[in-house]
Chain A
């Protein structure tokens, strides 16, 4: 079943200004045949056929085509004004393989941990379904509303310095490309499935290719319509959270070197599973305790998992209220530092001495719509953290933009265009806040000053980024050409044009 809405207006989940707009056609494929029935064995099949039909429609009409997940990106990476695919209803998944012959030998002993999830499956759905069978995601972002395809293909990450971003636990990609043909792409150096699986998968063409995999896994919709992802889940574990406040001067060494010995963390000087520093850029003086250090220690889970708690009622700030707050922050910047401090008290509150323990799904849980939020996120090599902090904090002092600066540390990714590309560990700096005139000026200033500084850096594909090819060339070097070559080998020129959009073109990746 395929619903088509003409002249539909897209706005992203955070209602960021200047993101989205009118769309000629919005397709919603579903896992149902036209008579409303489901396929008895392969529930995904009607949805897959829907994606194939959409590609054929776009080809016939010479339109650009992009897939849309939950709309969590804070820029137009998922947007085109031609044809857009709402993948939300494609949320079928299975956990574990019954037939060993469908897997490559090394994965047969782990076949109960392999997960095949359709593109529209949200992280929260994966969390709850995996927790039922005592599995969990190896890592995720800080929240749970993204779709698996959207999160992976933009390079979403947490702060797992030993794991990497979400794309780094993916083993295979099922993609609908030119002509509606579909492919299962996996690494030649680490094959997971056999031809038998691809035959079961409606006769998908099996492609074993390291470069194509490393290009398409962070491909932000540029390699076709991503139908499903295969990954290996982990046996369930617990995370013990600790948050403590420090002066900026006390955390600066750890921020640059990951030497945490001066932080008096509760379990010694071994770097925890997740290490993160959240700064209030306007509370950096001695005694102001403007740095919050948030860590998670990985713990074995017992038979009984902790019971989740949640608020049954809450008030959400509407777009109008956020717009007013944005206007106030533009007009009276003196108010911003203390407002930001009170927000941080709520969002990153200090924990009791024994910490707070929960499953990953309990720790990285629901967040509310910001109704006007924006963010910038940039990856740096560890050696450049000091210079990067100087530039970003300098801009934040000049343009009081009402956003904290969070530093997260992620194992380097071999995905060609991942913002976490710097080896061995990338420090990712993020400034999530309200969209305001000052925020937009600050973002532009950061783009400009980082480009002029020569500091190696790479922007996150789902957040505010410079719309020019220069930063892509500087950030990714030969990896950019490898991405372009892999794409050119997989898609013919007409198909590449179909799967382009304005950001891909502006960033010099449309060729």
Chain B
């Protein structure tokens, strides 16, 4: 192999390596993006409302055609004993970026995780017997 061709191949190899690393880290890490809504107590001092941390409900749905169709989830209110959600987290799945790449953005999954509030309804506490 002529010395000149080695010089031409090295930058190409580095580009491939760096490109691969960039793609890999994008694909690997972008599946971890998370966004959270935290409800606050309606009663002062409006702390982030108490939730059941241990028994969340979750649902993975798909949004299609670059967001032209949206996924909606409305679980049974019995799930939260009628008290509703206290926290909702949206997170990409590890395979979300890959699916976005393969389908050119026409089908991207995300997971909704719902934590039930455990705080009694707003207002004065009940009095005892």
Using A91-B119, A97-B129, A320-B32 as known contacts, say yes or no to A124 and B41 having CB atoms under 8 A apart.
yes
Closest Cβ–Cβ distance, residue A88 to chain B (whole Å): 4
CA distance A93 to B118 in the complex (A): 12
* Interface residues as binary, A159-197 with B (CB distance below 8 Å gives 1, 0 otherwise): 000000000000000000000000000000000000001
Q: Is B129 within 8 A of A98, CB to CB?
A: yes
Which of A70, A124, A307 touches B53 (beta carbons < 8 Å)? A70
Q: Is A365 within 8 A of B45, CB to CB?
A: yes
B2-10, B95-103, B120-128: which one contacts chain A? B120-128
CA distance A233 to B50 in the complex (A): 20
**Residues in chain A near residue B82, CB distance under 8 A:** 36
The main secondary structure of chain B at its interface with chain A is loop
**Residues in chain B near residue A200, CB distance under 8 A:** 129
Quick check: is A128 within 8 A (CB to CB) of the other chain? yes
Quick check: is A247 within 8 A (CB to CB) of the other chain? no
Q: Is A128 within 8 A of B119, CB to CB?
A: yes
**Residues in chain A near residue B123, CB distance under 8 A:** 132
**Residues in chain A near residue B129, CB distance under 8 A:** 97-99, 102, 197, 200
CA distance A200 to B128 in the complex (A): 10
Q: Is B54 within 8 A of A10, CB to CB?
A: yes
Q: Is B45 within 8 A of A98, CB to CB?
A: no
Q: Is B48 within 8 A of A26, CB to CB?
A: no
Q: Is B124 within 8 A of A133, CB to CB?
A: yes
Closest Cβ–Cβ distance, residue B95 to chain A (whole Å): 18
Q: Is B128 within 8 A of A124, CB to CB?
A: no
A27-35, A326-334, A486-494: which one contacts chain B? A27-35
A26, A36, A89, A133: most-surrounded residue (chain B CB, <10 A): A89
**Residues in chain B near residue A97, CB distance under 8 A:** 127-129
Q: Is B81 within 8 A of A30, CB to CB?
A: yes
**Residues in chain A near residue B124, CB distance under 8 A:** 129, 132-133
Quick check: is B55 within 8 A (CB to CB) of the other chain? yes
**Residues in chain A near residue B126, CB distance under 8 A:** 43, 93-95
CA distance A32 to B82 in the complex (A): 10
Measuring CB to CB, which residues of chain A are less than 8 angstroms from any residue of chain B?
A: 3, 5, 10, 13, 26, 28, 30-32, 36, 43, 68, 70-71, 86, 88-89, 91-99, 102, 114, 116, 120-122, 124-125, 127-133, 144-145, 197, 200, 305, 307-308, 310, 316, 318, 320, 358-359, 361-362, 365-366
Q: Contacts A32-B78, A133-B124, A133-B125 given; 12 further ones with Cβ under 8 A? A: A3-B55, A91-B119, A93-B126, A94-B125, A94-B128, A98-B128, A128-B45, A128-B47, A200-B129, A308-B46, A316-B36, A318-B34
